[in-house]
Amino acid sequence: MAAQPPVADLVALERYPVHDLESSEGVRLVESCRAELRRAGACKLDGFLRPEAVERMAADGAELTAQGFPNDDVHNVYFTEIDESLPEDDPRRILVRSAQKAVAMDVLPPDFPTRRVYEWDGLTRFVAAALEKDVLYRSADPLDGCNLTVYEPGDELGWHFDNSEFSVTLMAQPAERGGEFEYVPMIRTPEDENYPAVRALLQGSREGVIPFPSGPGTLAFFRGRYSIHRVPPVEGSRPRLNSVLTYAAEPGHKLSPLTQKLFYGRTA
C-alpha cells in the first residue's frame, strides 16, 4: 500500500488512486483514461477533488477574481493572422470572440487547492501515464503553470483549435447557466484541415458537437489540436471558475514574454 501523499485531504484517492499507479486499481484507472482518450479525444474524472476542497477553491476563487487580467478579443479558430485575400466565408477569416479573466499562478496562494495538487509530483506522473507519455514536466512559467480562469456573465471562449497536443483542466465551479464545454472530435487531421466542416460549424451547424459538462472538482484531459472546442457564453449570476494545468514534454517550458503579456497583462 502506497503512503498517503500530501494531497490526501484534497484528492479522492479512494476513488482515484493516482498516488499508487502500480496497484491493480491504479493500472485500471490509467487504462480507463487511455481508452476514453482514444475513443472520444477527451476524458474526465468527476469528483476528483473532495467536496471540502471544491468549496475552498470556489471561495478563494471568488476573492481572487479581482486580480485576474481581463481579456476580450476576437480571433479565428486557428489563432493566426487574418488573410483578407481569402473568401469571406473561409474559416480562416471567420472571427469568434473570447472573453475571460486570467488569474496567474503567482497570485494563487501556496495553499490554494489547485496549486497544491499541481505542484505534487504524483499528479504529474499520473497525467503522463494517462496521456501515454514516458515523462512530463510541469511548466517553469511562474504565471502560467496553473492558473484560475474566470468566466463572468457574458464571457465565453470561442471555437478554436489548441496549438498544444493536449490540455488538462480542473473545475472549481460551473456557471449557473451556460458555459458548458463542447467539442467536435477529430474534425480535422494532420492530412486534412476539412475546411468545409469547420465553416459549417462556424455558420451554426451542430453536426458532431458533443457536450462535455464538468461538475465541481472534475479533472479533465482533452486532445484539442485536432478537435475544435469552445466554452459557450456564461449566463446567470454565478461565474465559471476553472483552472488550466500546464505540462510539457521538455523541462523549462515557458510562455514567450509577448504571450505572457497577452494572457496575464504582464511579464515575469
Q: What are phi and psi of 78, to 5 degrees?
A: -100, -5
The answer to whether residue 48 is domain-embedded is yes
The answer to whether residue 2 is domain-embedded is no
Instruction: Report CA torsion sign: 26, 5, 215, 235.
Output: negative
The answer to whether residue 31 is domain-embedded is yes
Q: What is the pLDDT of residues 228-241, one digit of tens each?
A: 999 999 999 999 99
Spatial distance between the Cα atoms of 265 and 259, rounded to a whole number of angstroms: 9
The answer to whether residue 7 is domain-embedded is no
Q: If you compute the radius of gyration of the chain from its CA atoms, what whole number of angstroms results?
A: 18
Task: Please tell me the total count of domains within the chain.
Answer: 1
State how far the alpha carbon of 242 is from the alpha carbons of 7, 62, 126, 193, 199, in Å: 19, 12, 20, 29, 29
Domain containing residue 232: 24-264
The answer to whether residue 117 is domain-embedded is yes
pTM: 0.93
Spatial distance between the Cα atoms of 202 and 20, rounded to a whole number of angstroms: 44
Q: pLDDT tens string for the chain (268 positions)?
A: 566 789 999 999 999 999 999 999 999 999 999 999 999 999 999 999 999 999 999 999 999 999 999 999 999 999 999 999 999 999 999 999 999 999 999 999 999 999 999 999 999 999 999 999 999 999 999 999 999 999 999 999 999 999 889 999 999 999 999 999 999 999 999 999 999 999 999 999 999 999 999 999 999 999 999 999 999 999 999 999 999 999 999 999 999 998 899 899 999 9
Give residues with Cβ within 8 angstroms of 3, minimum separation 6.
Answer: 19
Q: Which CATH number fits the domain that encloses residue 49? A: 2.60.120.620
The answer to whether residue 8 is domain-embedded is no
